[in-house]
Each structure stands twice: as structure tokens, then as C-alpha cells.
Amino acid sequence: MKNVLVTIPVKESHRARIDEIAKDCCVLYVPAGQATEEQVADASVIIGNVPAKMIKASDKLELLQLESAGADPYLPAGVLSEKTVLCNSTGAYNRTVSEHAAALTLMLMKKLHLYRDQQRRNVWKDLLTAMSPAGSTVLVVGLGEIGLQYAKLMKAMGAYIIGVKRREGACPEGIDELVRTDEIDSVLPRADVVFSILPNTKQTVHFYTEERFHLMKESAVFINCGRGNAVEGSVLLKALQEGQIAAAAIDVTETEPLPAESPLWQQENLVITPHAAGTYHIPHTLECIVDIACENLSHWLKGEPFCNVVDMQTGYRR
């Protein structure tokens, strides 16, 4: 009998689904962070993000179904055996991350963060100017499913959307204009909002350089809900302090948690959330992850091709 290890925070209804699909397997439910090396070594299927160092290229592991879209820790040689298929949960986080990013965008556009600061000081003062999504140009850097969903939300409020992706192709629905990543410098000066949802790759580390912030409008706002290492903290701080851009909001930082001594915490025109856009903040996310996991568990048992397979070279879903 093969073992299935589940570490995602399933409910009883989810357990019933998994147990029914894997009725001829031994299914073990262990809270995240509590799985032992022995349990990992004995598993033919793992549903959840167990520490990469615990896997040790197990020949027994046939399917690793991640609860995350990112797969970075599992890509280096020696982590997974060639027998292991790695699948992610791309698609599960579209709603929660895009809504979080849209909320941050509106907060900065309407200066709500500054009004909140004034409230704490008992200050009643109209800050006079604000931005509107209607008629604004929004640059979406990273046109995966989250980027496309965010674009849809901003488009519904009247924004003109420029999408940025690695390769040329047909312009997706809801995108007004499409450019390649290596052409981004040509469109940065036009953007009122720059939304980054880049993954972690060699090409995206410190992607937003000081030169690129200089290309942006002084009135522009920058939102990062992708990977924290896309922008160096000191570079972002300088852009905010010197007025290269008007404001920024980041859900991710290069070092997480962001150290308490970081000057970013005290920057008035910066909003920081603690990598809270994703995870399980809304029930929809867990439902989507369970759907993906159940589908792939069924495919595994039937010897069928998996969905959401990760390309081990790029880290993206194939």
C-alpha cells in the first residue's frame, strides 16, 4: 500500500474527498511543519510544502503537489529524484492576491495611508489631490494568472492596461497593449501604476534598478506582490525618499520578515503588508488548492498526465 502525506490545512469535507480518491492508499494528515523525515521518506505522494531538505531526492516520491505557486526551494539538483513529478498550485491565488493588490493600489491612489497616519495624530486635514484608476495607465509586469486577474480588476475601473511578459504572443483579453520584458524601459515613463508580480528567477533578481525608478513618473505608484528580491530595499527607499515615485506598497521583501531596524518601516509613502496577499486568508484559496490536489491525486492513481506540472528549468508551470 502506497502512502499519501497531506500537510495542507484540510477540513473534514476535504478529507472525505481525498480519502475517497485514495481509498486504496494509506493517507496521513499531518499539520504543516510537523511532518517527520520518516513520514516524508515513506510517502509516494506529498500534498503540501514540506521542507525541501527533508525530501533528499527520495526515489519513493512520485508526486510532490505544492500548495504554493512558487516552487523555488524544490528546483535545485539533489532535492527531487528524477522519478518525482513536481506540480504547483498556480491559479489558486488569483483572487486573493489580485484583490489585495487592487486594494493597495486604491489606497495609494487615494492617499488613504496618509489619512490613517493623520488620524493617529488627531489631524483633520484634506490632502487635496488624488489619483483615479479611470483614465490611468497601469503597467502589469508578469502576465500569469494573478497579473491577468489584477488587470481585469483595474480595467473594470477604467484603466488602460499595458502587459509585460517574457515572450511575444497574442495580446490576452483585457490587456490593451503588450510588450516583452526586455522592452519595459520604453513603457515605464507612461505608467501611473506599476504592478509587479514577477516570479523568482535569475532574470528577475533586482529587476527594478535605480535607473528604472528614474524612468517612472514622479507621480507613479509601485506595487510589488511578486517576489521581494525583484527590488533591492535600498533602491526602493531611495526612490521614495528622493521623489522618483510618489508612493509604493510591498507585500514582499528581499529578507522576510523585514528586519525591525529596516528604514523602510518608517517611510511615510510606503505601505508594507507581511506577505499577506496569498496564503489562506480567504476560503476560496484552499478550495482551489484542494481541487488541484484531488485532480492530480486522481491522475496519479490512473497513470494519467498531471496538471500544473512545473518546468524544472524555469520554475514556471508548463
C-alpha separations of 304 from 204, 297, 308 in Å: 34, 10, 13
Asked if residue 52 and residue 9 are part of one domain, the reply reads yes
Residue 215 lies in a domain: yes
Asked if residue 124 and residue 69 are part of one domain, the reply reads no
User: What is the reported pLDDT for 202?
Assistant: 87
* Stated length of the chain: 318
Residue 40 lies in a domain: yes
Name 28's Cβ contacts closer than 8 Å, sequence gap at least 6. Answer: 3, 4, 5, 6, 39, 43
Residue 198 near residue 146, CB atoms below 8 Å: no
Residue where the block lists cell 513603457: 187
pLDDT tens digits along 62-111 = 999 999 999 999 999 999 999 999 999 999 999 999 999 999 999 999 99
Asked if residue 151 and residue 62 are part of one domain, the reply reads no
Asked if residue 190 and residue 43 are part of one domain, the reply reads no
Asked if residue 114 and residue 80 are part of one domain, the reply reads no
Asked if residue 132 and residue 149 are part of one domain, the reply reads yes
β-strand pairing of 26-29 with 160-165: unpaired
Nearest to 102 by CA among 206, 251, 232, 231: 251
In the chain the first and final C-alpha atoms are separated, in Å, by 31
Residue where the block lists cell 531526492: 57
- Which three three-digit cell numbers place residue 180? 516583452
User: What is the reported pLDDT for 316?
Assistant: 85
Name 238's Cβ contacts closer than 8 Å, sequence gap at least 6. Answer: 210, 213, 244
Asked if residue 298 and residue 252 are part of one domain, the reply reads no
User: What is the reported pLDDT for 210?
Assistant: 98
β-strand pairing of 247-250 with 221-224: parallel
Distance CA(186)–CA(183), nearest Å, equals 6
Q: Is 251 helix (H, G, I), strand (E, B) or coil?
A: coil
Asked if residue 226 and residue 118 are part of one domain, the reply reads yes
User: What is the reported pLDDT for 141?
Assistant: 98
- Which three three-digit cell numbers place residue 73? 526551494
Nearest to 109 by CA among 138, 131, 133: 131
Residue 65 near residue 297, CB atoms below 8 Å: yes
- pLDDT tens sequence for the chain (318 residues): 999 999 999 999 999 999 999 999 999 999 989 999 999 999 999 999 999 999 999 999 999 999 999 999 999 999 999 999 999 999 999 999 999 999 999 999 999 999 999 999 999 999 999 999 999 999 999 999 999 999 999 999 999 999 999 988 899 999 999 999 999 999 999 999 999 999 888 899 999 999 999 999 999 999 999 999 999 999 999 999 999 999 999 999 999 999 999 999 999 999 999 999 999 999 999 999 999 999 999 999 999 999 999 999 888 898
CATH number for the domain spanning 38: value is 3.40.50.720
The whole-angstrom distance between residue 124's C-alpha and the CA centroid of its chain comes to 37
C-alpha separations of 134 from 58, 190, 191, 305 in Å: 53, 15, 13, 44
Distance CA(64)–CA(310), nearest Å, equals 10
> Which range of residues forms the domain containing residue 20?
3-92+282-302
Q: How many domains does the chain have?
A: 2
Residue 56 lies in a domain: yes
- Residue 270 CB coordination number (10 Å): 20
Asked if residue 233 and residue 109 are part of one domain, the reply reads yes
Strand partners, 160: 137
Residue where the block lists cell 483614465: 135
- Rounded to 5 degrees, φ, ψ at 148 are -70, -35
User: What is the reported pLDDT for 19?
Assistant: 98
Annotated active-site positions, please?
227, 256, 275
